[in-house]
């Protein structure tokens, strides 16, 4: 079995640390070089990587990093016990609430962080 970690490119390391610790409750682990910080998100390590806007994403690709709101078919879902409480923390920390839905299965809140990365908060009915 492999362990999983997540790397999130951000334009400003300090504000990213504040968002992910205050908004989503991740724990600070350590600074890992001038442009990297590691957070603990429970069972997953989160690597925040400071990368300049409009820098090349790889040496082989022409795509440039953008921190405008963007969509990708791969995104983060955070399972939460109290979606309303967590959503308030996310918005207070600088995240954006983009809509919600609920049904027999529970509730979902569509969000983005201050750097344009989309994610969802999910509270399953018990």
68 within domain boundaries: no
23 within domain boundaries: yes
Dist. CA 86–CA 109, nearest whole Å: 10
Please count the helices (runs of H) and the strands (runs of E) in the chain: 2, 8
The DSSP bridge pattern shows strands 118-124 and 76-79 to be parallel
66 within domain boundaries: no
Does residue 79 contact residue 41 with C-beta atoms inside 8 Å?
A: no
C-alpha angle 32/52/17, rounded to 5°?
45
Nearest to 78 by CA among 33, 111, 38: 111
25 within domain boundaries: yes
Give the CATH number of the domain where residue 41 resides.
Answer: 3.10.180.10
Does residue 71 contact residue 112 with C-beta atoms inside 8 Å?
A: no
| H or E stretch covering 17 | helix 13-18
Tens of pLDDT, residue by residue, the chain (126 residues): 788 999 999 999 999 999 999 999 999 999 999 999 999 999 999 999 999 999 988 888 788 888 999 888 889 999 999 999 999 999 999 999 999 999 999 999 999 999 999 999 999 998
| Token representation of residue 91 | 């918005």
Q: What is the span of the domain harbouring residue 90?
A: 5-53+75-124
* Total tally of structural domains belonging to the chain: 1
Which pTM was predicted? 0.90
Quote the pLDDT of residue 57.
84
10 within domain boundaries: yes
């Amino acid at each position: 079995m492999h362990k999983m970690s997540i790397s999130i490119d951000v334009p400003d390391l300090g504000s990213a640390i504040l968002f992910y610790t205050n908004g989503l409750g991740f724990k600070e682990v350590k600074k890992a070089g001038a442009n990297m910080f590691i957070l603990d998100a429970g069972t997953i390590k989160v690597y925040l990587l400071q990368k300049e806007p409009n820098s090349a994403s790889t040496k082989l690709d022409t795509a440039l990093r953008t921190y405008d709101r963007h969509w990708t078919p791969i995104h983060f879902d955070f399972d939460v016990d109290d979606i309303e409480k967590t959503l308030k923390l996310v918005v207070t920390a600088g995240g954006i609430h983009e809509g919600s839905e609920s049904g027999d299965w529970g509730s979902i809140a569509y969000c983005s962080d201050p750097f344009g990365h989309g994610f969802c908060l999910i509270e399953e009915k018990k």
